[in-house]
């Protein structure tokens, strides 16, 4: 390795042969360093050119905005020839950024910024609203603490207080990344509804509001093309490709402006924006689409546990949890219209506990109760008799943006075979505290097809469940937690053979960590067994709850090992 000791030179250590240097794997640490280096080249290009040409350079040249040839050169003809825009403000560089300061891309188009004299036909009318098909849920309930957490992250006060006249122009372009807040949690927990409620109740705090469905790259591209055409209605955007549209939108977000009609006259003004990326379950595909400067705020919803894993740019956020029994009970009574029913609180409390406080499920059940003219007691009886049918029933309330039924909310069919096998076993255990050593220690004795036997296979399967919020993990106690309604749906999707295999596997796994002693051993009641037994007893009891009656009636073939386990626990 040769160091030239150039100004602001940075070195990156790469463990590769010379001919392999150009082959950079995304998993390599160098990949992130290289990405940051190239990003800095573009990020500080304007400042670098100004420094290269010096203070005595033609001011008309210095005040030009740098735009990449592939994305913006087609707009050169339609741009103003005035050069009144101020130079781009950039953040203070970190030490790793300094190498980019002396690098400039080879070919750059120079296009003048839009001038203040330009007519309103070249600017968008404010407020600019692009909300796709998202609507406000008229039956939105609770979540005040989440909405306030977003306000705090975005620096907003009460949404009911309008901005004063001197704020209409919006703040200056900040020199840091726009604040990004992510809502994470399992499907059906209400992330999209919270984001929609936030947007609609805070929309007067922003001059532009944009909603984008972000679950696939294709959807992102289509929507950015549509937004680009709205931002530049008088420019030639018909032949624009996705990359050009993305850069155009991000450029506008970096320095947003438009015009307002004031007493019949158009007045140019700066803008403040809010953009929502909904269902961004793969953060990796979202990075290229995020604005990296500008006076705005970014709200993201994702099943991926971004906050817990401290994912880059997604470190700040809120992991949305199910409703508490008290709030869930209040929601069920109000949405079902059964507040005056006798013993409504007790019945609602039982139903909410069965549903695990999941807002989407409570909303669905409330709709069923209303549409079928059921009392809460009648619903309980029906649910006990045929929960699978009710899980697949769709209510047409028209008040939610969520289109799934309870049985389709979690697409377990798309899981890999090991992850699905692990989830099937977990669905038979107590949902709250599942010891990971119990799932791993006896794995080599499990006969269930595709169950992850090796540690790496288990880690991969566990990560897959966690990344789509079908399970969560307490790393301090090495325990896994799963929602009880997810368990119920997974069990209902299994056939008899799969249930028997998962049951047998669960018995083997528990047996391998159970503190066995002989029934005649006088030490069987010694204290050392108690903490181990207490940690496992909830899972044994759950197996008995699910299969005990069928076993006693001869309708389910329990294994001999299960019999020994249950007997030992009874001692």
Whether residues 329 and 425 share a domain: the answer is no
Position with higher pLDDT, 70 vs 122: 122
Compute the radius of gyration of the chain from its Cα atoms.
29
Q: What is the CATH number of the domain that holds 489?
A: 1.10.10
Examine residue 92 and state whether it is found in any structural domain, yes or no: yes
Give bridge partners of residue 208 from the DSSP assignment: 128, 273
Q: What is the pLDDT of residue 161?
A: 38
Whether residues 135 and 284 share a domain: the answer is yes
Examine residue 238 and state whether it is found in any structural domain, yes or no: yes
- CB atoms closer than 10 angstroms to residue 269: 17
Q: What is the pLDDT of residue 550?
A: 82
Whether residues 543 and 398 share a domain: the answer is no
Whether residues 398 and 414 share a domain: the answer is no
Whether residues 69 and 105 share a domain: the answer is yes
| Per-residue pLDDT band at 84 (split at 50, 70, 90) | very low
Examine residue 5 and state whether it is found in any structural domain, yes or no: no
| Per-residue pLDDT band at 36 (split at 50, 70, 90) | low
- Per-residue pLDDT for 56 more than 60? no
- What is the number of domains present in the chain? 4
Whether residues 461 and 565 share a domain: the answer is yes
Residues 349-368: tens digit of each pLDDT: 999 999 989 988 898 888 89
The span from the CA of 260 to the CA of 276, in Å, is 23
- Cβ-proximal residues to 511 (8 Å cutoff; 6+ apart), any chain: 442, 561, 564, 565
The span from the CA of 163 to the CA of 161, in Å, is 7
Domain boundary among 270, 295, 319: 319
Q: How many residues are recorded in the chain?
A: 571
- Per-residue pLDDT for 301 more than 80? yes
Whether residues 344 and 396 share a domain: the answer is yes
Does an H or E element contain 262, and which? strand 257-262
Whether residues 244 and 226 share a domain: the answer is yes
Position with higher pLDDT, 134 vs 302: 302
- Over residues 180-188, mean pLDDT: 91
The span from the CA of 10 to the CA of 141, in Å, is 53
Q: What is the pLDDT of residue 112?
A: 30
Examine residue 3 and state whether it is found in any structural domain, yes or no: no
Whether residues 261 and 143 share a domain: the answer is yes
Q: What is the pLDDT of residue 435?
A: 93
243 SS3 class: helix
Alpha carbons within 13 A on the beta-carbon side of 38: 6
Domain boundary among 346, 372, 407: 407
Q: What percent of the chain has pLDDT over 90?
A: 32
Whether residues 430 and 378 share a domain: the answer is no
16 SS3 class: coil
Q: What is the pLDDT of residue 85?
A: 34
Examine residue 13 and state whether it is found in any structural domain, yes or no: no
Q: What is the pLDDT of residue 166?
A: 38
For residue 58, what are the domain limits? 18-111
The span from the CA of 515 to the CA of 434, in Å, is 17
- CB atoms closer than 10 angstroms to residue 414: 9
- Per-residue pLDDT for 540 more than 80? yes
Whether residues 179 and 308 share a domain: the answer is yes
Domain boundary among 407, 429, 457: 407
Nearest CA among 150, 241, 251, 246 for reference residue 201: 150
Q: What is the CATH number of the domain that holds 292?
A: 3.40.50.300
Distances (CA, A) of 365 to 268, 372, 376, 394, 400: 50, 10, 10, 10, 13
Whether residues 231 and 137 share a domain: the answer is yes
Mean pLDDT check: name the lowest of 25-34, 300-309, 356-365, 506-515: 25-34
- Per-residue pLDDT for 404 more than 80? no
Q: What secondary structure letter does DSSP report for 396?
A: -
- Per-residue pLDDT for 512 more than 80? yes
Q: What is the pLDDT of residue 235?
A: 63
Examine residue 7 and state whether it is found in any structural domain, yes or no: no
For the chain, the average pLDDT equals: 77
Q: What is the pLDDT of residue 73?
A: 30
- Per-residue pLDDT for 137 more than 70? yes
User: Where on the phi/psi map is residue 54: left (φ > 0), alpha (ψ -120 to 50), or beta?
Assistant: left
- Over residues 122-144, mean pLDDT: 84
Give yes or no for a contact between 252 and 207, defined as CB atoms under 8 angstroms apart: no
Residues 227-277: tens digit of each pLDDT: 998 888 766 667 788 999 999 999 999 989 888 888 778 888 888 999 999
Token pair for residue 62? 């210095």
- Per-residue pLDDT for 398 more than 90? no
Give yes or no for a contact between 72 and 248, defined as CB atoms under 8 angstroms apart: yes
Q: What percent of the chain has pLDDT over 70?
A: 72
Position with higher pLDDT, 42 vs 273: 273
Examine residue 361 and state whether it is found in any structural domain, yes or no: yes
Give bridge partners of residue 141 from the DSSP assignment: none
- Cβ-proximal residues to 481 (8 Å cutoff; 6+ apart), any chain: 431, 432, 433, 434, 471, 472, 473, 474
Examine residue 138 and state whether it is found in any structural domain, yes or no: yes
Q: What is the pLDDT of residue 108?
A: 25
| Per-residue pLDDT band at 17 (split at 50, 70, 90) | low
- Cβ-proximal residues to 167 (8 Å cutoff; 6+ apart), any chain: none
Distances (CA, A) of 67 to 29, 71, 92, 318: 29, 7, 21, 36
Q: What is the pLDDT of residue 317?
A: 92
Q: How many helices (H) and strands (E) does the chain have?
A: 19, 14
The span from the CA of 185 to the CA of 191, in Å, is 7
What angle, 0 to 180 degrees and rounded to 10, lies between the N-to-C axes of helices 417-426 and 455-467? Answer: 80
Q: Model-level pTM?
A: 0.69
Give yes or no for a contact between 187 and 235, defined as CB atoms under 8 angstroms apart: no
């Amino acid at each position: 390795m040769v160091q030239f000791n150039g100004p602001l030179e940075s070195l990156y250590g790469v463990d590769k042969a010379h001919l392999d240097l150009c082959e950079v794997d995304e998993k390599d640490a160098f990949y992130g360093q290289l990405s940051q280096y190239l990003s800095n080249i573009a990020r500080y290009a304007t400042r670098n050119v100004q420094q290269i040409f010096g203070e005595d350079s033609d001011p008309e040249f210095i005040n030009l905005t740098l735009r990449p040839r592939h994305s913006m050169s087609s707009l050169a003809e339609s741009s103003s020839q005035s050069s009144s825009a101020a130079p781009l403000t950039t953040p203070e560089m970190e030490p790793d950024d300094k190498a980019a300061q002396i690098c400039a891309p080879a070919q750059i188009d120079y296009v003048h910024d839009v001038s203040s004299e330009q007519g309103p036909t070249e600017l968008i009318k404010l407020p600019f609203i692009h909300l796709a098909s998202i609507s406000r849920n008229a039956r939105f309930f609770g979540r005040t603490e989440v909405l306030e957490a977003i306000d705090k992250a975005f620096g907003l006060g009460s949404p009911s207080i309008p901005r004063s006249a001197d704020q209409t122009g919006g703040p200056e372009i900040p020199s840091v990344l726009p604040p990004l807040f992510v809502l994470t949690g399992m499907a059906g927990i209400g992330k999209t509804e919270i984001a929609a409620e936030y947007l609609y109740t805070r929309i007067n705090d922003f001059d532009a509001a944009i909603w984008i469905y972000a679950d696939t790259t294709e959807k992102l591209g289509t929507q950015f093309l549509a937004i680009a055409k709205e931002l530049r209605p008088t420019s030639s955007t018909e032949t624009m490709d996705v990359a050009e549209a993305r850069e155009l939108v991000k450029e506008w977000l970096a320095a947003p402006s438009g015009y307002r009609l004031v007493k019949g006259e158009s007045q140019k003004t700066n803008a403040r924006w809010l953009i929502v990326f909904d269902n961004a379950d793969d953060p990796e595909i979202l990075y290229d689409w995020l604005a990296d400067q500008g006076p705005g705020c970014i709200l993201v919803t994702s099943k991926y546990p971004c906050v817990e894993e401290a994912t880059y740019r997604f470190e700040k956020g809120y992991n949305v949890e199910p409703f508490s029994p008290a709030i869930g009970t209040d929601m069920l009574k109000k949405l079902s219209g059964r507040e005056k029913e006798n013993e409504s609180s007790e019945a609602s409390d039982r139903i909410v506990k069965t549903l695990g406080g999941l807002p989407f499920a409570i909303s669905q059940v409330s709709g069923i109760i209303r549409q079928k003219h059921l009392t809460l007691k009648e619903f309980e009886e029906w649910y006990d008799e045929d929960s699978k049918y009710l899980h697949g029933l769709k209510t047409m309330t028209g008040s939610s943006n969520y289109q799934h039924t309870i049985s389709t909310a979690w697409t377990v069919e798309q899981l890999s075979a090991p992850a699905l096998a692990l989830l099937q076993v977990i669905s038979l255990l107590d949902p709250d505290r599942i010891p990971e050593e119990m799932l791993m220690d006896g794995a080599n004795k499990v006969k269930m097809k595709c169950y992850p036997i090796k540690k790496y296979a288990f880690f991969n399967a566990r990560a897959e469940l966690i990344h789509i919020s079908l399970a969560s993990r307490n790393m301090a106690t090495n325990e896994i937690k799963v929602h009880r309604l997810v368990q119920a749906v997974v069990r209902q999707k299994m056939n008899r053979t799969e249930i028997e295999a998962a049951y047998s596997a669960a018995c083997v796994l528990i047996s391998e960590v159970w503190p066995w002693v002989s029934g005649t051993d006088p030490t069987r009641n010694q204290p050392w067994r108690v903490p181990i037994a207490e940690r496992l007893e909830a899972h044994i009891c759950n197996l008995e709850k699910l299969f005990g009656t069928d076993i006693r009636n001869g309708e389910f073939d329990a294994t001999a090992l299960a019999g020994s386990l249950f007997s030992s626990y009874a001692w």
